[in-house]
Chains A and B, each alone.
Chain A
Amino acid sequence: MSTPVAMKPAAEPATAKSTARPAARLTGFMPLIALVVLVAALTVADPDFLTQRSLTAASRTAAPLIVLAAGATLVVLCGGIDLSIAALASLSTVLLALWLPDLGGLATPVVILAAATIGAVQGVAHVLLRIPSFIVTLGGMSVLSAVALVVSGAGTVRVVDDTPVAWLDLYLGGYVPMSAAMALLVVALIALVLKVTPLQSWVSATGYSESAARLAGTPVDLVKIGAFCVSGACAGFAAVMLVSRQFSGGPTMADNLLLPAVAAIVVGGTAITGGHGSVWRSLAGALVVTLLRVGLPIVGVPSAYEQILYGAIIVVAVALTLDGSKVSIIK
C-alpha cells in the first residue's frame, strides 16, 4: 500500500436512505400486505368470501393471469415491456383449439413452443431493429390479433373433446386447483432458474443499466430475446389454461388480460423501468388484481363503483408497493 489515506467507507452516501432499512423491508412485503388487507376487506363486505371453496375458485381464476404476468415480468425486469402477451395468448387459444383434434395431448407443448417462438421473434425484432419494445409489441399485438381472427374465421373455436387439457381442471388433493398449482410451479421455476444461474445478474444488469451490462460482456441481446421467448411461452401456457377452463379458443379470449397483467406486475412492486423486482412479486400482484376483478362484483359492489374502486385501489396499491428509493425519476 502506497497511500496512507484513510478513505471513508462511503464518502458520498449514495441515497442517504440507508437508515430506512425497516421501512424498506416493509415496502418489500407490501404486495403481500396489500393482498391480506384486500382479502380482509372483501371478507368484511361479504363473510362468505372467506371460505375454502371461494378461495379455491379465486386461485383457479388467478392462474392464467399469474402465468401471463410471470412471463412478462422477465421482460419488464430487462427494462422492456411486452404488450403482446394477451393477444398472443388469444392466438394460442385458437391454435390449441384447432390443433387439439389432430394432435391430442401433443397440442399443448406444440402451442407453447409456437408461442415461445413468436415471443422470440418479437425479441429479435426489438434487438436487431433497435425498436423500443413498447412499439414492437404494440405492433405485435395487432398483428397477432389479426392472425387470430383470420385463423379462427373471427369466431370461437369450440373444443369438443377436451381430455388432453382436462388435467388442468383437476384439483390437487381435492382443494388446490391444478391450474393454480401449475401457475405456482411456473413462478417457482422461473424464480429458481434465475436464482441458481447467472441469469439473475444478467437480467438485473440489463434492466438497471443496459450499457454497463453490455460493456461487461453480458449477452444483453440474448438475455432480452430469451425474456421475450419465456414471456411468449408463458402466454402459450396461459392459453392452455384458458382453453381447459372455457372449452374453447377465441381470437379475443385473453385480450382483456393485458392491462390486468401489467397491473399485476406493477402492483407487485416490480419497477417498470427495469432491474428491480421479481416474479414472486408479480404472483402477489396477480392475486391482488384478480381479487379486485372478481371479488368486488361478487361481494356486491355495483358495476359503476366497482370500476371506480378498481382504479383507485390499483393506484394506491402501486403507490404503496413501489420502492421509491430505487427509482429516481418516475415518468
Chain B
Amino acid sequence: MKFTSRPAAAIMSLSLAAAVLAGCTEQAGGEDTAAGSSSCESKDVRLVGQVRNESNPYEASWLAGGDAFAQSVGLKQERLTYDGDSTKQQEQISQILAGNTKCLVMNVLPNGDADTPPIVKGADQAGAYLVTQWNKPADLKPADHKTWLSHITYNGIESGQQIGDALSEAIGGNGGIIALQGVLDTAAAKDRFAGLEASLKKNTGVKLLDQQTANFSRAEALTVTKTLLTKHGDNVKGIWAANDDMALGALEALQQAGKAGKVAVVGIDAVPDAVSAVQGGTMTATVSSDGTWQGGIGLAIGYCVATGKLKVEDIAADNRAFFAKQFLITKSNAAEFAAPKTNPSDFECANVFNRVAGPLT
C-alpha cells in the first residue's frame, strides 16, 4: 500500500519543516468563553464526572451520586472512566475541553497528584468549571485560578490516625502490626500513612513490623498480606490498611491462614462491605468518606457557579480547598452508616459547603 508517493512524502515533510522554521506557532485555545462573565441557562450546563473505573464500589457510588444530582436539576451526567490510566485521563479531559466548554462543569478524581496540574491548566484555558477531589500537589491552589472552583479531600492524616488509634486499642495497645499502603504517588496514601505514623508515636506499645504497598487493590492486598503473615507469623496482631478494599483483601488472607478474628483489621472509606464487616465484628474500624456525596457535590458547586447562583468571588477562601467532614465508624455506630444516604438538600447552592470540616492544610 502506498499512502503517498515518494515525491508527495518529500513535499509533505519539506512543508512541515518549513512551517516549523517559519515559526508560525502560537498558543491555541483560551481565547473564547471567558468564564463567569455570563451565567448559563440551567439546561445548557454540561455535567461531567470522571473517576478511575466503574468496577469498584467506591467510585461506582461516586458516579451514582453524580447521576442523582444531575437528575435533580433535570440534566444528565456524562460519566467518564479512565481505568486508572493517567494518560487516558488526560486524553479524555483534553477531548472534553475541545468540545463546547461554555457551561462545562467537571467533577474530577485525578489519578495522582501530578495529574492535577495539566487538568487545571486545560480547564483554565477552556474556561471550564472544575472541581477536583483527593489528589493535588500542595503548591497548586484553586484560589489562584478562576474556574478551578474547589478542591475537596478528606483529612487523610486525621483518618489514618483515627483508625491507627482504633487499631491499637483493639490489640490492647501492645503488639506488632503491618501496614498496607495505597498507590504511593497519591496524597491520600501519603497522608493516611503519615496519620498512622502519628498514631504510632502516641501508642508506643504498638510496633510497625512491615509496610508494603498493595496499590489500593483487594487482590494485591490478599497476596501481600499472605506473604507478610508467613514472614512475621503470630507477631502480627493487627493490620492497618489505607483503604477498605485492601482491608477486605487482608480479611480474606486472614481467613485463609486460619487467623480470622485473631487479627484486628482497620481501613478507610466505609464501602458497604467494610461497614457490614465492622457491624459484624470482623473488622475493627473504618472511616467514612462518602462517595455518593463526593460525586454529587463537585457537580453541585460547579452547577451553582455556572448558573450564577453562586459567585466565585463569594466563595470563602477556606472553601476553595477544604477537608470534608468524616466519621470514625466502629461497631457502635456502624448501623447508622449501613445504608448510604444522600440528602438532596446538601446539594442546594446555599448548602454546598455544609460539610466543610476545615481548610486544607
Does A touch B (CB under 8 Å) in the complex?
A: yes
Report which A residues bind B (CB closer than 8 A): 27-29, 32, 48-49, 51, 53-54, 56-58, 60-61, 64, 154-158, 167, 170-175, 177-178, 181, 184-185, 188-189, 191-192, 195-196, 242, 245-248, 250, 252-254, 256-257, 269, 278, 280-281, 283-284, 290, 293-295, 297-298, 300, 302-304
B208 at interface, CB cutoff 8 A? no
Question: Are the C-beta atoms of A246 and B114 separated by less than 8 Å?
Answer: yes
Residues from chain A with a CB closer than 8 A to the CB of B92 are 294, 297-298
B16 adjacent to A185 (CB under 8 Å): yes
Residues in B whose Cβ lies below 8 Å from that of A178: 25
B335 located at the interface, meaning its Cβ lies under 8 Å from any Cβ of chain A in the complex? no
Query: Does B1 lie within 8 Å of A154, measured CB to CB?
Result: no
Residues of A within 8 A of B10 (CB): 192
Interchain CA distance A72-B85 in the complex, whole Å: 21
Closest CB-CB distance, B117 to chain A, in whole Å? 5
Query: What would 20 more interface pairs be, CB under 8 Å, given A156-B113, A171-B28?
Result: A58-B95, A58-B98, A154-B184, A154-B185, A154-B213, A158-B137, A170-B25, A173-B25, A174-B26, A181-B19, A181-B20, A184-B16, A185-B17, A246-B115, A284-B3, A297-B81, A298-B95, A302-B54, A302-B79, A303-B54
In Å, the complex CA distance between A58 and B99 comes to 11
B354 adjacent to chain A (CB < 8 Å): no
Q: Can you list the 7 inter-chain pairs with the closest CB atoms, starting with the nearest?
A: A57-B98, A28-B1, A156-B114, A171-B28, A248-B114, A256-B85, A188-B13
Binary contact readout B70-99 vs A (1 if CB under 8 angstroms, 0 otherwise): 000000001111010111101110111111
Q: Are B86 and A253 in contact (CB under 8 A)?
A: yes
Q: Which residues from A are CB-within-8-Å of B2?
A: 28, 278, 280
With A154-B185, A242-B87 known as contacts, the answer to whether A195 contacts B9 (CB < 8 A) is yes
B116-166 CB contacts (< 8 Å) to partner A? 117-118, 121, 137
In the complex, B112 has a CB within 8 A of chain A = yes
| B3, B9, B19: the one within 8 Å of A173 (CB) | B19
Does A51 lie within 8 Å of B86, measured CB to CB?
no
Q: CA A61 – CA B93 in complex, angstroms?
A: 10
Task: Assess whether B3 is in contact with A280, with CB atoms less than 8 Å apart.
Answer: yes
Q: Which of B6, B25, B88, B91 contacts A172 (CB 8 A)?
A: B25
Chain B hits for A64, CB < 8 A = 87
Shortest CB–CB separation between residue B168 and chain A, in angstroms?
Answer: 28
**B27 at the binding interface (Cβ < 8 Å):** yes
Contact of B24 with A172 in the complex, beta carbons under 8 Å: yes
Residues of B within 8 A of A246 (CB): 86-87, 90, 114-115, 117-118
Q: Is the beta-carbon distance between B6 and A298 smaller than 8 angstroms?
A: no
Q: Which residues of A contact B27 (CB under 8 A)?
A: 170-171
Which residue from chain A places its CB closest to the CB of B3 in the assembled complex? A280
Chain B residues near A (Cβ < 8 Å): 1-4, 6, 9-10, 12-13, 16-17, 19-20, 24-29, 53-54, 78-81, 83, 85-88, 90-92, 94-100, 112-115, 117-118, 121, 137, 184-185, 213
Q: Which residue from A60, A242, A280 sits with its C-beta under 8 Å from B4?
A: A280
User: Are A48 and B53 closer than 8 Å at their CB atoms?
Assistant: no
Question: How long is the Cα–Cα vector from A167 to B20 in the complex, in angstroms?
Answer: 11
Contacts A32-B3, A181-B16: A295 and B53 contacting too (C-beta < 8 A)?
no
The answer to whether B9 touches A57 (Cβ under 8 A) is no
Could you list 20 A-B pairs, sorted by A, with CB under 8 Å?
A: A29-B1, A53-B98, A54-B95, A57-B95, A60-B94, A61-B95, A156-B113, A156-B115, A158-B114, A158-B117, A171-B28, A174-B26, A178-B25, A185-B17, A246-B118, A250-B114, A256-B87, A280-B3, A281-B3, A298-B92
Q: What's the least CB distance linking B97 to chain A, in Å?
A: 7
Q: Report yes or no: B86 in contact with A303, Cβ–Cβ below 8 A.
A: no
Asked whether A257 and B185 contact (CB < 8 A) given A185-B17, A303-B81, the answer is no
> In the bound complex, do residue B98 and residue A56 qualify as a contact, i.e. CB atoms below 8 Å apart?
yes
Distance of A61 Cα from B4 Cα, bound (Å):
24
The smallest C-beta distance from A155 to any residue of chain B, in angstroms, reads 4
* C-alpha spacing A246/B3, complex, angstroms: 32
CB of B58 to closest CB in A, whole Å = 15
Q: Are A245 and B118 in contact (CB-based, < 8 A)?
A: yes
A245 to B184, CA, bound (A): 22
Contact A297 B117 (CB under 8 A): no
Select one of A61, A192, A280 contacting B13, CB under 8 A. A192
How long is the Cα–Cα vector from A66 to B29 in the complex, in angstroms? Answer: 23
Please report the C-alpha to C-alpha distance between residue A191 and residue B2 in the assembled complex, in whole angstroms. Answer: 11
Nearest opposing residue in chain A for B137, CB measure: A158
For the complex, give the distance between the alpha carbons of A316 and B1 in Å: 20
